[in-house]
Chain A
Amino acid sequence: MHELAISPAIAALRVRIAQLEGDGARAREVLPFGVPSLDRKLPGGGLALGCLHEVAGGGNGAVDGAAAACFVAGIAARTQGKVLWCVAQQDLFAPGLEQAGLPPDRVIHVEAGDDKSVLACMEEGLRHGGLGAVVADIARLPMTASRRLHLAAKESGTIGLALRRWRRQAEASDFGQPTAAMTRWRISVLPSRPLPVPGVGRARWLIELIRARAGESLDIELEACDGSGHLGLPADMADRPAAAEGRRHSAAS
């Protein structure tokens, strides 16, 4: 519906650019988030499979990578097949991942020891083709390495998720460096949904799409992944103008 609103000239230009980039031959499959206001902004209506995507935490999340890990687990949970998760030092807590939708039977963990081996293992996983998703916790992701990963993902059609995570807050400025990734996300924690009783409600995130190839950036407040890996639209925001605008679009098309 959103696509139709674009003028034919721009659509023709997009086709030409896609041909120049070399991925015009095969239409990419996408993995929708199931949240219309998010999917509508993504090219193709969802997260492209067979690509590399980058995710980092905002604020302290750049160091602990907890919210980013849940976000990534939610994406991986909605793919088919096993998930390979490469880390340098293991600190993932499997019960927490299960609550984000990723049961322990589906995840094969690799504890590679250093960043270089993590990249090598991720590439190996992406090339194999039998996995649903490959995730890696990486601090440095140089352009060359990211291009290799992206090509490997493109060949096999497996989605690659680079979870950027640094030792110190100061190193997080590395996230501005260019990479070959298709999209770049930043997940920051927000205060949880207020409850009528004392206690902590469902977690909320500020999800920023900082960069998307052939797409627009956006930021949106959403509720964290549920047990099946789906993000939720906050109840008090479902009727806000952003969502209402979406309905107008669909009515017009």
Chain B
Amino acid sequence: MTAVDATAQALGLRVGMPVTKAQALVPGLVIEPADPKADAESLERLALWVLQRIAPIVAVDPPDGIVIDSTGADHLHGGDAAMLDALIGRLTLSGVSARAAIADTWGAAHALARYGSNPVLIAMPGASIDMLAPLPLEALRLSPAIPAGLRDLGFSRIGDLIGQPRAPLTLRFGPELSRRLDQALGNSAEPIEPLRPEDMIEARRSFAEPIAAAETIARYIGKLVATLCEALEVRGLGVRRLDLLCHRIDSRVETVRIGLARPVRDPQRLTRLLCDKIETIDPGLGIEIMTLTATLAEPMTERQAVSHLIEAPEPDLSGLIDTLANRVGARAIYRFAPVASDVPERSVCRIPALAEETGAGWPDHWPRPSRLLPRPDPIETMALLPDDPPNWISWRGVRRRVRRADGPERVFGEWWKRDAELVAVRDYFRIEDDAGERFWIFRAGDGEDVATGSHRWFLHGVFG
């Protein structure tokens, strides 16, 4: 048996078990013949999907992995952790269960993803050695005979090997062990050969003399973008993800990825977006090859600019949104839209900034505060139960006498979402203190039945 799923594992089946034994253990077992070629093909398809959505340098790590160089792309996702969350979330939605780790080197990430205790793990820079030390020897990507031999000698963890003299081990097991260990610890480089599908549109430029100055890089970006846009125009495509790869003379690759909200092939705009990112490129001793790839290209229809005699044309904001998204991340730019819910924090959702206008708003029966606290702040009060607003409240150490009040506005729990909210109630009041400051406070519970809430008071928002 070469692979078992979670259900089979629960039944006691393991990889490496003979099929006959498995059939004896579980009657009526469904067995699919292994098809390594199809597996490799689908892994490559998955890697391509990751390439288009997550990062510019992605390669297949056979038989069961994908290696991603996340440098230069995390800004589009809002940081490493958010990127990993998004990746795992989207894989889970499409029915793929995955484990992931971010570490300093390919070797360390490979080991931590497969043998680490957490399914999603981010190793801080420089902490890889400590995290690798307790892992078993198989995590080092060695041929199967070596871990067995090492175990005979009394080594069981990677940590045991780290301080050992290399010469005797190399003499016995060959150079592979030292190489893999150095690669995992980051002592020797291991470049990732990026996956490039055949029909990808690419512009490439090699330099006789390595370049390093920002102005020179900017000039060549302009030339590459012009070439790429011509190729895009021939096929009628616009670019959604654009990757700039700068191969340095010390064989490292610096990457820049640009994301766009709509397909674009305007050389000026693309050049500007790429040039904004020049400061993130570290040219080192010089760049010898620059390639620009349209990783994700979509058909683009040219629209005729219709001119109205009366109305001014609607200004195009997609350029601004792209510039901002490449600066602060696409998730940080949004519009709010109403959700049919009485619970204030659930009544808004975020939609993409360029989504169609909904025209919808919120019900206008009650005033709503302009600022809502991220989570309700507990306050001390003195109030007459069940219906009256408090006489005074004490928030952040300041006691305020309630001068005027409106309420209660009763909000019922959404029992169709969670059983625990079946009887939950919040009573909202709008209060004003002596100085005229207006707050939105609520009591958890209806003031009579303890089952409906704790009867504690919270401050939820501030009115203007």
Interface residues in chain A, defined as those with a beta carbon under 8 Å from any beta carbon in chain B: 59-60, 64-71, 73, 81-82, 84, 91-100, 103-105, 107-113, 117, 120-121, 124-125, 128-131, 187, 189-192, 198-201, 203-205, 224, 227
Contact = CB atoms under 8 A, between A and B. Distances in A.
Contact of B403 (A94, A191, A227): A191
Contacts, number: 170
Interface stretch (B65-73, B145-153, B205-213, B329-337): B329-337
A97 B362 CA distance: 11
A109 B333 contact: yes
Contact of A100 (B320, B335, B464): B464
Interface in B356-401: 357-362, 364, 367-374
A109 B335 contact: yes
Contacts of B404: 191-192, 198-201
A13 B33 CA distance: 93
B217 interface: no
The contact size tier of chain B is: 35 or more
Nearest to B430: A200
Contacts of A70: 370, 464
Contact of A110 (B333, B367, B437): B333
B361 A130 contact: no
B384 to A, nearest CB: 14
Highest count of chain B CB atoms <10 Å: which of A73, A104, A131: A104
Contact of A93 (B333, B360, B370): B370
B370 A96 contact: yes
Contacts of B412: none
Given A189-B435, A199-B404, A200-B438, A100 B324 contact: no
Nearest to A111: B332
A96 B369 CA distance: 5
A120 B348 contact: no
B372 to A, nearest CB: 4
9 contacts: A66-B462, A93-B348, A94-B362, A104-B360, A111-B328, A112-B332, A187-B464, A191-B432, A192-B438
A234 to B, nearest CB: 13
B328 A91 contact: no
Contact of A105 (B359, B362, B369, B403): B359
A77 to B, nearest CB: 13
A20 B460 CA distance: 50
Given A192-B432, A203-B464, A112 B371 contact: no
Given A94-B348, A110-B333, A121 B327 contact: yes
A110 to B, nearest CB: 5
Highest count of chain B CB atoms <10 Å: which of A107, A108, A129: A108
A73 B10 CA distance: 58
Contacts of B430: 200
A92 B371 contact: yes
Contacts of B317: 82, 108, 128, 130-131
A120 B326 CA distance: 12
A64 B371 contact: yes
B315 interface: yes
Interface in B413-437: 430-432, 434-437
B371 A104 contact: no
A70 B367 CA distance: 12
A125 B370 contact: no
Interface in B438-464: 438, 461-464
Contacts of B336: 94, 104, 107, 109
Contacts of B357: 105
B327 A120 contact: yes
B436 A130 contact: no
B432 A59 contact: no
Contact of A91 (B315, B338, B371, B463): B371
B74 to A, nearest CB: 13
A14 B336 CA distance: 44
A121 B359 contact: no
Highest count of chain A CB atoms <10 Å: which of B333, B344, B347, B462: B462
Contacts of A107: 335-336
Given A69-B464, A110-B332, A60 B437 contact: yes
A130 B320 contact: yes
B293 interface: no
Highest count of chain A CB atoms <10 Å: which of B332, B347, B403, B406: B332
A55 B7 CA distance: 61
Contact of A128 (B320, B347, B348): B320
B431 A130 contact: no
Interface in B300-346: 315-317, 319-321, 323-324, 327-328, 332-338, 344
Given A70-B464, A189-B438, A203-B463, A81 B315 contact: yes
B327 A99 contact: no
A124 B325 CA distance: 12
